[in-house]
Amino acid sequence: MYLIVGCIVAIRGPFYHPDSFAFLEMSLNRSPVYVLFLKSFNLIFGDHYVWPVITVQFLALVCATHYLLNILEKQFHLNTIEKLLLQFILISPSIYFNYTTGAILSEALSHPLILIVFALGFKAFATVNLKPLLKSIIPLYFLIMTRGQFVVIVPVFIALGIYINYQKNVDPKKWIPVLLLIIVPIFTNYSERLYNKLMFGYFESNTMNYVHLISTDFYLSEPSTVALFKDPNEIEYFKIVHQSLEKAGLTKQSAEARKELDVTVFNDNFSKICNQRIQGLGLVYFKEKGLNYFEQNKALNRLCKGMFFKMVTSNFKNRMYFFVKNLKITYGSAKYLLLFVLLIFYSLLKVHKTKSTLFKFILLSSVLMLANNMIIAFIIHAIKRYTFYFDWILFAIMILVFSELSKKNRYEN
């Protein structure tokens, strides 16, 4: 299976996306790990770096898939057919959608990393043992430094650590893994600051966080929203961006006037809303004030931070309603969202009553999927590139459920 998929990846060749060049150029606002990963291959292989990169990306996915499969096999005693099906499902993003392994994108590293982190989290949950959770901290650190969205795993794993300690009634010294998990976001933040200091000369974290966050609020805003602001910079910047969005027909009101789905227009045009206008016009605004590129990004993020809390609180009901619509898109439909919510509650009840390994798998995977989809739906646009990481879960649940049923049936016979 690995050989067949590897051949398909090689035949299809490398894939470049608009973001690929931002990583290659070591642009500001790109997470450090993948930038340094590409740079190291570029230094070693020069212009011929692409195929070595793709080879290592594929081998990383193979190792991660194999590691997760071994843990699932030990916990569920899978047969060859069940392992083969799971293997194909886990590795399949390499040959469909955006051909992850062959793409020059951070997903090529974050995909295998999320499989390793999940494998360790599940092993800790299934065996009620903190050691795998402790081991997960290093790959979790690199995962967050590759794609910041996965910081949502930290609170889930902290809750998992508290559950394990509660079940085992451990002494205070055994709480160290939980404490280390708490400081992971702090450590990643300072690591990013150090990277920016070494690369750009400024000890600052990634400076586009609130630019992303405020994009939905700008899209939902009306001209009268300007009344929320007192600061002259906030007022002027809001007018510049909102007028540009209105002129381009990129507001909720414009979408409704054209009788188009507001959430569809937002997701299809997110880069035009966020990158071209909220960020682009903001950088120009601060450039005219005499700031350099890094200072422009820093000032813009600080400005958006102050505006975001005012805009989201004044329009909270519509913001939450739009978030739910976006969340449904991350799952594909409202039915799938409802299915996974029901799976979470049902598996939580079963874990409480039976401590079943199967329901531990369903609970952990479904919660991680929900956490990831929630942060995506709230901050940016709900596209597959950010949510495909957990597409394999429903198939895995089906395979594991049928596997358990077949074993039970054989035992009864």
Same domain, 220 and 196: no
Single residue among 255, 286, 314 that ends a domain in this structure = 314
Same domain, 289 and 351: no
Same domain, 279 and 369: no
Q: Which band of pLDDT confidence, cut at 50, 70 and 90, is reported for residue 207?
A: low
pLDDT at 83: 94
Q: Which band of pLDDT confidence, cut at 50, 70 and 90, is reported for residue 384?
A: confident
Mean of pLDDT values over 309-318: 92
Single residue among 160, 176, 202 that ends a domain in this structure = 202
pLDDT at 285: 94
Per cent of the chain over pLDDT 90 is 71
Same domain, 356 and 295: no
Angle, CA of 154, 387 and 274, to the nearest 5°: 95
Same domain, 400 and 257: no
Mean of pLDDT values over 298-326: 93
Range of the domain at 181: 1-202
Same domain, 196 and 105: yes
Q: Which band of pLDDT confidence, cut at 50, 70 and 90, is reported for residue 201?
A: confident
Is pLDDT above 90 for 150? yes
Same domain, 153 and 19: yes
Is pLDDT above 80 for 205? no
Which ranges constitute the DSSP H helices of 136-231?
137-146, 153-168, 176-200, 209-213, 215-220
Q: How far apart are CA 285 and CA 383, in angstroms?
A: 30
Same domain, 260 and 400: no
- Asked whether the beta carbons of 373 and 331 are under 8 A apart, the reply is yes
pLDDT at 172: 64
pTM: 0.93
Q: How far apart are CA 57 and CA 267, in angstroms?
A: 29
Per cent of the chain over pLDDT 70 is 97
Same domain, 25 and 124: yes
**How many domains, in total, are found in the chain?**
3
pLDDT at 173: 65
Single residue among 149, 179, 202 that ends a domain in this structure = 202
pLDDT at 379: 87
Is pLDDT above 70 for 170? no
Is pLDDT above 70 for 111? yes
Same domain, 50 and 145: yes
